[in-house]
Structure 1
Amino acid sequence: MHRNIKLLAMPVLLAALLSATAMGAGIKKDLKIAFLPKQINNPYEVIADNGGLEAIKEMGGVGKVVGPSDAGASSQVSYINTLITQKQNAIVIAANDANAVVPYLKKAQAQGIKVVTFDSDTAPEGRALFINQADSESIGRGQIQLLSKLIGGEGEFAVLSATPNATNQNTWIKWMEEELKKPEYAKIKLVKVAYGNDDDQKSFVETQGLLQAYPNLKAIVAPTTVGISAAARYISTSPKKGTFVVTGLGTPNQMRAFVKNGTVKAFQLWDPGALGYLAAYAAANLASGNITGKEGETFEAGKLGKRTVGKSGEVILGPPTTFDASNIDNFNF
C-alpha cells in the first residue's frame, strides 16, 4: 500500500519540480551584451541601440555599443573579432551584409557567444535568432500600397535605398516589386533603384540626380531613415514641394518638420527603440539557456510581454505604423 502511494505521488512530485524549474528560469545577472549597429552614427541605429541598452540595464546586465562609421560590407568584422576576445555573452548585430560577417559570427558562436541579428539579417547559420521589425512581405507591400494612395494610383517612382548589400532593404524592395505585379498598380512604374549608402549627403545628391534623370518622376520611396530625410530635405527647398511625393521609412522626430511644412504627407515605421529592446531580451534569454532559437519556443521580453520564435529563428516585433499630420505629434522617437 505504501509502495502504491509512493508510485502515485511520483508523477505529482515530478510535475511540481518541472513547474518550479520553469518558473525559476530567469535571466542571468551581469550578462555582457554588445550591440553592433550598421553605423555608429546612424540616427535610427542610435534609437534602436538605446532601446537595447535600456533592456540590458533592466536585466542587470552590462551593455555596450560598438561599430563602424561607414556601412561597408566588411566594416563590422574587426568589431566582431574584438567582441570575441572580450568574451561577450551575446552579440546583437544589424548586418551590413548578409554573408560577409557570417564566418566571424560562426567563430563567436563556436566560443559560446550567442548571436542575435536585428533590423538586417545574416544568412541563418550566422545567428540563433533574427529580430525582425515586422513581416518583410507586409513592409514591402505596405510601402507600395501607401505610395499608390499618395500618387493617385499612377506615375513613375524611384526607390532610394541604403547600400546594395543591405539585406533588409533588398528584401523589402523584392516585395515592393511583387506588389507592383497586381493589376491595380498597372499605371505605376518603378524606374530606378538608387543607393545613398545610408549617407545623408550621398542620399541628398542621389535625390537630385533622380529628379534630373527622370523629369516625369512623381515620387521617391526611401525605405531607410537616412534616405527619406535626405530626400525630404532636398524636396523641401525645390519647386516640386507640395506636388512631389516623398515616402518610405523614417522616425517621427526626424520627419516631423517635413510633415508640418507640407513636404511629406505620410510615411511608415515601427518603434526602433522597441526593436532594440526586444533584441536585447532575446539575446539575454539565449545566453541564460532559456531558449535555443528553435521554432515554437517562447520567452519573456520585459514590457513587450511573451514572444514566440517563428520559422528560421525569426521573432517579429509587430506591424509598422503610418505617420501623417493627424498622428505624428503622438509619437516621440
Structure 2
Amino acid sequence: MRTSPSRRASVLLAAVSSLSLLTAACGDTDDSADDDGTTNAKNAEASPNAPTKTGLTVSFLPKQVNTPYFTVADDGGERAVEELGSTFKEVGTEQGSDTAGQVSRINALTEEKVDAIAVSALDPDALCDALKRAMAEGVKVVTYDSDTNPGCRYAFVSPASSEDIAVRQLALLGEQIGYKGDIAILSAARTATNQNAWIKSIKRELEDARYQDMRLVDVAYGDDEAKKSYREAEGLLEEHPDLKGIISPTTNGIKAAAKYLSQSQSKGDVKLTGLGAPNDMRPYIEDGTVDAFVLWDPAKLGELAGHAAVALASGQITGREGQMFLAGDMGWFKLGGDGVITLGDPTVFDAGNIDDYDF
C-alpha cells in the first residue's frame, strides 16, 4: 500500500470506444516454445469469465516516481487494483534515465514474490533478463506507457497506436508553422521505447507530400529531467537559429521547453507542441507560448494497466492476441498483436478546452 494518499484525476478525456461485449472464452492451447525452450505461457488457456482473484500484490514501476504524469497514472492503477480487492505497491527511481534502478527493483519484487508487475520501461532490452526471471517465477508482467520487447512481458497497455500519436503531434506543429521550416524534437531518454517509436513514425510521416517544406534538423534528449531538458531546448535554438518549431513527446520535456521559450526572445515565433499535462501547460497556453498539445488521460492508462495485471493473475487473459477482459466501467478490451492493449485516441488541448481538465 502506498503511504501517500491517493490523488484522483477529476476528469475524463475523450471516451474510449467500447468493444463488443463478448463472453466466449478465448485461447486455444499451443505448446510452442520460446527461444530458451520453455513453454510459452502466453498460449495457455484463458477465460474472460474466470473469477477475479483477490488478495494479490500488484506493483507499479514507472519510469520515474514523483512526477505529475506518473503520479496520476499510478493513482489510476492503485484505484483499479484496490477496487478489485488486491494490494497496490509503487516502487521506482526519481531519475528519468536510471535503467539499472529499474532492473534492481524488478529483481527485488521477484524476490518478494509479488503477483504482478506493471512497468513503464526505460529501455526495451536492458530490463528483459530481469523480467524473464520474474515471469519464470510466476510473476505476471505488464508494461504500460512504454514497452519492452514483447517476449519480456505478457501484455502492453498502450495509450494509442504509436503512429496515431506521432501523426497528431506532427500535424499540430505543421498547422502552427504553415507546413514550412526547420523543426526539431526534444525527447526523453535515448533508449525509451515509446519515444523512439514516435520519433520513427514522425520521420516516416515527414515523407508525406504535405510536409515537403518541413525539415527535421535535430533530435535532442533531455532524459525527462527538467534542468537538462531546459538546457537542451536552449541548445536547439542556439544551434538552429532558423528553427520554426519543436515537438517534445514527453510531459517533462515539453514543460521544460515551454519554460525556456516563455522567457526567451523566441516566444511566439518558435512553436512548441508534443505530449503535455494540462496543469503543467496551462500557464504556457495562457501566455501564448504554446498554442496546442496532445495527451491521453494518464489516470485511465494506469487504471487499465491495473485491470490488465489482475486479469493476467486471474487467468482471464494470458497475453495472446484476440483475448478479452473487462476493465470495470471502462468496458471490455481486446488484446491485439503482440499482446498490445490500446486505450484510445489522444485529446488535443488548447485555450478553448484546457480549463475543462484537472490533472
Aligned to 1:9: none
Equivalent-residue separation in structure 2 for 1:23 and 1:35 (angstroms): 23
After TM superposition, give the deviation of residue 73 of structure 1 in Å: 2.8
Aligned to 2:6: none
Query: Of residues 32, 39, 42 in structure 1, which corresponds to 2:57?
Result: 32
Aligned to 1:49: 74
Query: Of residues 74, 90, 94 in structure 2, which corresponds to 1:65?
Result: 90
The structure whose RCO (Cα within 8 Å, separation 6+) is larger is 2
Equivalent-residue separation in structure 2 for 1:24 and 1:274 (angstroms): 23
Aligned to 1:76: 102
Output the TM-score relative to the length of structure 2: 0.86
Q: What is the one-letter code of the residue matched to 1:219?
A: G
Q: What is the one-letter code of the residue matched to 1:306?
A: W
8 A contact 1:73–1:165 mirrored in 2: no
Give the 3-state SS of the residue equivalent to 1:171 in structure 2.
helix
Asked if 1:123 is matched to 2:127, the reply is no
Aligned to 1:228: 254
Output the TM-score relative to the length of structure 1: 0.92
After TM superposition, give the deviation of residue 42 of structure 1 in Å: 2.6
Q: What is the one-letter code of the residue matched to 1:34?
A: S
Q: Give the helix-richer structure, 1 or 2.
A: 1
8 A contact 2:60–2:74 mirrored in 1: yes
Aligned to 1:194: 220
Give the 3-state SS of the residue equivalent to 2:165 in structure 1.
helix
Aligned to 1:7: none
Asked if 1:111 is matched to 2:129, the reply is no
After TM superposition, give the deviation of residue 76 of structure 1 in Å: 0.4
8 A contact 2:292–2:348 mirrored in 1: yes
Equivalent-residue separation in structure 2 for 1:74 and 1:61 (angstroms): 28
Asked if 1:307 is matched to 2:316, the reply is no
Equivalent-residue separation in structure 2 for 1:275 and 1:50 (angstroms): 10
Aligned to 2:278: 252
Aligned to 1:271: 297
Asked if 1:293 is matched to 2:293, the reply is no
Aligned to 2:13: none
Aligned to 2:354: 328
After TM superposition, give the deviation of residue 22 of structure 1 in Å: 6.6
Aligned to 2:343: 317
After TM superposition, give the deviation of residue 259 of structure 1 in Å: 0.4
After TM superposition, give the deviation of residue 318 of structure 1 in Å: 0.3
Distance 1:152 1:298, change over 3 A: same
8 A contact 1:161–1:227 mirrored in 2: yes
Poorly superposed stretches of 4+, deviation over 6 Å: none
Q: What is the one-letter code of the residue matched to 1:111?
A: E
Aligned to 1:146: 172
After TM superposition, give the deviation of residue 74 of structure 1 in Å: 2.4
Aligned to 1:4: none
Give the 3-state SS of the residue equivalent to 1:131 in structure 2.
strand
CA deviation map 1:30-70 (0-9, x unaligned): 11000001111232111111110011111111001001121
> What is the aligned residue count?
314
Show structure 2 runs of 5+ residues with no match. 1-24, 26-45
8 A contact 2:48–2:326 mirrored in 1: no
Equivalent-residue separation in structure 2 for 1:202 and 1:96 (angstroms): 17
Give the 3-state SS of the residue equivalent to 1:75 in structure 2.
helix
CA deviation map 1:98-152 (0-9, x unaligned): 0101011000000111000011100111100000000111111111111100111
8 A contact 2:47–2:316 mirrored in 1: no
Aligned to 1:10: none
Equivalent-residue separation in structure 2 for 1:227 and 1:177 (angstroms): 19
Aligned to 1:88: 114
Distance 1:159 1:23, change over 3 A: closer
Percent identity between the two aligned chains: 49
Greater C-alpha radius of gyration: 1
Give the 3-state SS of the residue equivalent to 1:152 in structure 2.
coil
8 A contact 2:48–2:325 mirrored in 1: no
Query: Of residues 225, 228, 232 in structure 2, which corresponds to 1:206?
Result: 232
Query: Of residues 235, 240, 244 in structure 2, which corresponds to 1:218?
Result: 244
Provide the alpha-carbon RMSD of the alignment: 1.3
Asked if 1:137 is matched to 2:170, the reply is no
Equivalent-residue separation in structure 1 for 2:196 and 2:47 (angstroms): 40
Q: What is the one-letter code of the residue matched to 1:285?
A: A
8 A contact 1:74–1:97 mirrored in 2: no
8 A contact 1:40–1:69 mirrored in 2: yes
Distance 1:24 1:245, change over 3 A: closer
CA deviation map 1:172-226 (0-9, x unaligned): 0000001000111011011000000100000000111111110000111100000
Equivalent-residue separation in structure 2 for 1:187 and 1:103 (angstroms): 44
